[in-house]
Amino acid sequence: MDKYDKVIDLCKRRGFFWPSSEIYGGVAGFLDFGPMGTLLKRNIEARWREVFIHKNHGLVYEIETPVIMPSKVFEASGHVDHFTDYVVGCTSCNKKFRADHVIIEQIGEVQGIEGMTPEGLDKLISEKGIRCTECGGLLGKVTSFNLLFRTNIGPYSENVAYLRPEAAQGMFINFKNIFTMMRERLPIGLAQIGKVARNEISPRQGPIRLREFTIMEIEFFFDPKNPECNALESVKEKKLRLLTEDLIRADSTTPVEVTLGSALEDRLIKSEWLGYFMALSSDFISELGAPPQSQMFVAKLENERAHYSAQTFDQMVNLERWGWVEVSGHAYRTDYDLSRHQEFSGNDLGAFRKYAAPQKILRLIARPRIDAISRDFKNETGKVLALLKSIDATKLKSMLDNNSTIIDKYEIRKEHVEFVEKEETISGERFTPHVAEPSFGADRLTYLSLECAFCEREGRTILRIPRSIAPIKVSVFPLVNKDGLREKAEDIYGLVRRHGFIADFDDSGSIGRRYARSDEIGAPIAITVDYETLRENTVTVRDRDTWEQSRISVDSIVSFLSDYYKIR
């Protein structure tokens, strides 16, 4: 077994996770988390919340929005049209596969495969002799497949809705409410931790690629004319390993290591706020157990980026079986999302930029000619007037360059509108904020932390889970279950729990087996109650990683654990 198989086996035995609906054969792309896995995942979420939200309080605020949203939201966001992958089916057994994945599985990485068209993928499959991985049959034509899970709201078939594929849209459509209540100050970030769903074509990488998972995202809104990050000083000397677009075009797979400050100065990273969150992400992933040299940020080429992105970096970590795997995504989404929701909803989602001093401008004004409109549209005059009022004057003038235009069902001609310029004194201008987005999948990070923590010593398995996210903080054992040792161990178990430490009590089998079980669930500290405890009021404390043992007094257990976990 390779490390992946060993980790998966351990996860099932020790209650971390396993395939969902297992008694019915399981369903690919879904996981059930057991007691240990739930604790570990929640600790990762809590640590992310501390690093990205709490330490940036006053800039970043957490919200919560529904998992199911009406179709209009995802029409505006572009997901209905663009959230697709390419699928290919076997002509013999009818199995379906994600086209790029089945190619990579059989011939290895292909430069630029993410940006290939269906025709390009068809050609590659034909030239390389790619066959069905299940039966060896011929593959059919590559087609597009939308990854949204579709549903309906209520009993009405016309009320189409989708399970959200990202938490971002809930933050975009709530931007105006929160921006207003926060006294219209920029920059401001909105964060969410919650479930999302993506109808993946053929997820076959266990916890690495799921159809339902927990996402942790921030949408950070800032003024594009004042894009400076006021927190940059604290991270600008942070070194990042970047595989830039230029390196990728040159067929290089070796990243360049630069400080964040240099990367911004050389325009390798286009947004200071994007770079700031990349620096935080590098430290966060290191804290989960992945050393910096096993990480890099890989730029997406223009034809590989999502429809909303002007620049994207995927943070990658090198795993034993799967190679370089994405653990976070960092996108400069510009004003795409707010502009689209503003257009589709008709609501103003912009902000106001105040000038240092008032300025005089000439403003173009469109004045509907009511007599001409009444003559041509009669009973629908009111509707036409409202329609013309809703359109920006400059845009309307451009639409009428060819003398007439169709708006909705109405033919509007130049004679229906008069354009005049009026001098005005203004104190500022409206604009649409830009957005930097860091995004993480908590389920994938749970597996990452387990693989990084997994090691073997003298034939035994140890999970060296970092203490900040360890699901169990301390294990408590009696040496034997007699002579009052069990009762004393139960007292100590109650003591540490009352002081907020998640603890495990184990009185089954030999002390060696108990230590082994404690190591397998990643408890950093084990406390053993023995006969000396009864005589001297001391206990044995064992370190998971070194197996070293020492004795401390029962009275100092709480302070010892508080110091160990840096709790004040």
- In angstroms, rounded to a whole number, what is the distance separating the alpha carbons of residues 368 and 10? 73
Asked if residue 415 and residue 267 are part of one domain, the reply reads no
Residue 156 CB: number of other CB atoms within 10 A? 8
CB 520 within 8 A of CB 512: no
- In angstroms, rounded to a whole number, what is the distance separating the alpha carbons of residues 521 and 518? 5
CATH code at position 560: 3.40.50.800
Residue 12 neighbours by CB under 8 Å, 6+ apart: 18
- In angstroms, rounded to a whole number, what is the distance separating the alpha carbons of residues 515 and 474? 11
Beta bridge pairs of residue 440: 216, 328
pLDDT at 307: 84
Cβ neighbourhood burial of 278 (10 Å; 0-12, 13-18, 19+): buried
pLDDT at 217: 98
Give me the number of domains the chain comprises.
3
CB 468 within 8 A of CB 47: yes
Asked if residue 154 and residue 58 are part of one domain, the reply reads yes
pLDDT at 567: 66
- In angstroms, rounded to a whole number, what is the distance separating the alpha carbons of residues 197 and 215? 10
Q: How far is residue 228 from each of residues 273, 314, 352, 508, measured CA to CA in Å?
A: 8, 23, 17, 59
Asked if residue 32 and residue 7 are part of one domain, the reply reads yes
Residue 318 CB: number of other CB atoms within 10 A? 14
**Ramachandran sector of residue 209 (left: φ over 0; alpha: ψ -120 to 50; beta: rest):** beta
Q: How far is residue 479 from each of residues 486, 528, 529, 540, measured CA to CA in Å?
A: 8, 6, 6, 10
pLDDT at 11: 97
- In angstroms, rounded to a whole number, what is the distance separating the alpha carbons of residues 357 and 486? 77
CB 503 within 8 A of CB 476: yes
Q: Report the candidate in 319, 262, 311, 322 with the shortest Cα–Cα distance to residue 285.
A: 319
pLDDT at 568: 46
Tens digits of residue pLDDT in 8-24: 999 999 999 999 999 99
Asked if residue 529 and residue 552 are part of one domain, the reply reads yes
CB 469 within 8 A of CB 43: yes
Asked if residue 381 and residue 319 are part of one domain, the reply reads no
Asked if the structure places residue 329 within a domain, the reply is: yes
* End-to-end Cα, the chain, rounded Å: 43
Asked if residue 478 and residue 515 are part of one domain, the reply reads yes
Asked if residue 476 and residue 398 are part of one domain, the reply reads no
- In angstroms, rounded to a whole number, what is the distance separating the alpha carbons of residues 368 and 416? 6
Asked if the structure places residue 199 within a domain, the reply is: yes
Asked if residue 159 and residue 52 are part of one domain, the reply reads yes
Asked if the structure places residue 134 within a domain, the reply is: no
Asked if the structure places residue 105 within a domain, the reply is: no
3 state DSSP class of 92: coil
Structure tokens at 252: 């290089």
Residue 344 neighbours by CB under 8 Å, 6+ apart: 72, 75, 76
DSSP 139: B
Structure tokens at 300: 């997406």
Q: How far is residue 21 from each of residues 30, 134, 203, 208, 218, measured CA to CA in Å?
A: 8, 23, 16, 18, 32
- In angstroms, rounded to a whole number, what is the distance separating the alpha carbons of residues 563 and 568? 8
Asked if the structure places residue 448 within a domain, the reply is: no
Structure tokens at 221: 């809104």
Asked if the structure places residue 554 within a domain, the reply is: yes
Asked if the structure places residue 411 within a domain, the reply is: yes
Asked if residue 319 and residue 271 are part of one domain, the reply reads yes
From 377, 403, 429, the end of a domain falls on 429
Half-sphere exposure of 284 (CA within 13 A, CB side): 29
Residue 328 belongs to domain spanning: 3-83+147-337+435-443
Residue 27 neighbours by CB under 8 Å, 6+ apart: 19, 20, 21
Structure tokens at 379: 């009973």
Asked if the structure places residue 214 within a domain, the reply is: yes
Asked if residue 289 and residue 177 are part of one domain, the reply reads yes
Q: How far is CA 313 from the centre of its chain?
A: 13
pTM: 0.89
Q: Write phi, then psi, for 63 (nearest 5 degrees).
A: -130, 180
Asked if residue 208 and residue 187 are part of one domain, the reply reads yes
Structure tokens at 45: 């979420």
CATH code at position 308: 3.30.930.10
Low-confidence residues of the chain: pLDDT under 70 = 567-568
pLDDT at 549: 97
- In angstroms, rounded to a whole number, what is the distance separating the alpha carbons of residues 263 and 57? 26
Asked if residue 365 and residue 291 are part of one domain, the reply reads no
DSSP 134: T
Angle at Cα 503 formed by Cα 499 and Cα 506, nearest 5°? 140
Q: What is the dihedral of CA 46, 58, 277, 222, to 10 degrees?
A: 140
pLDDT at 518: 98
